[in-house]
Structure 1
């Protein structure tokens, strides 16, 4: 279980790093900051998210999650929604207001994913009540 704990901590750390960098990039996008065009700003999210996904898949394999439990299926579906909202927040939103609104929605979906993972329930944080 020692390797499981290490992979879990790496996955959680990558998740927090990913959302923190997303919030920073969303802030830059809303403020139309040219730093968004910097190469490192374009590359870093792919590196972070690749690590996040790799550690997540490793955890699923270590825990023999097949078929996927409902909470994990819900988390993956929410991840797709998070990605779509995030692209509008960072790149595709026509105005700063639209980008800010989509950024807030994306962070809310991230919070749902965090709750689904912590509670092992598709009800996310509602399962704790």
Structure 2
């Protein structure tokens, strides 16, 4: 199964950046209060991308026998939870455009942290 590692890793990375790109677009639409945000496909596509992202991540963790989870992967998962919470504020739950914009910026910062933890294999991310 390790022969598929690079393919899965690159698919995971592609899904991560697709998720981020579509998040930024939707956050912008939310801040601008554009009705396109309510389109059915806009509500479905993120779930497809994020399901692929999570599935590929789990497949990689299983393939590499990451149990117990290394500290950097645990930090990455904690960052993911924070990213999701901030994302819901940025797109749905923020009461004002300013709150939604602030949550979107914070979510992107957390995404950058997650990428750093993944690349450096260190929970300190880019600070290590």
Measure, in 1, the Cα distance between the counterparts of 2:3 and 2:90: 38
Unaligned segments of structure 2, at least 5 residues:
none
Aligned twin of 1:45: 46
Measure, in 1, the Cα distance between the counterparts of 2:8 and 2:58: 10
Aligned twin of 1:63: 64
Measure, in 2, the Cα distance between the counterparts of 1:90 and 1:6: 32
Which stretches of structure 1, 4 residues or longer, exceed 3 Å deviation after superposition?
A: none
Measure, in 1, the Cα distance between the counterparts of 2:48 and 2:121: 27
The count of residues paired between Structure 1 and Structure 2 equals: 127
Aligned twin of 1:34: 35
Distance apart, 1:2 and its partner CA: 3.0
1:63-98, CA deviations, whole angstroms, 9 ceiling, x for partnerless residues? 000000000000000100000000000000000000
Measure, in 2, the Cα distance between the counterparts of 1:89 and 1:68: 30
Measure, in 1, the Cα distance between the counterparts of 2:83 and 2:5: 26
| 1:44-123 pair list within 5 angstroms | 44-123=45-124
Measure, in 2, the Cα distance between the counterparts of 1:126 and 1:118: 12
Distance apart, 1:58 and its partner CA: 0.3
Unaligned segments of structure 1, at least 5 residues:
none
Work out whether 1:15 is the aligned partner of 2:16: yes
State the SS of the aligned residue for 1:80: helix
Q: CA RMSD in A?
A: 0.5
Scaled by the length of structure 1, the TM-score of the pair is: 0.97
State the SS of the aligned residue for 1:24: helix
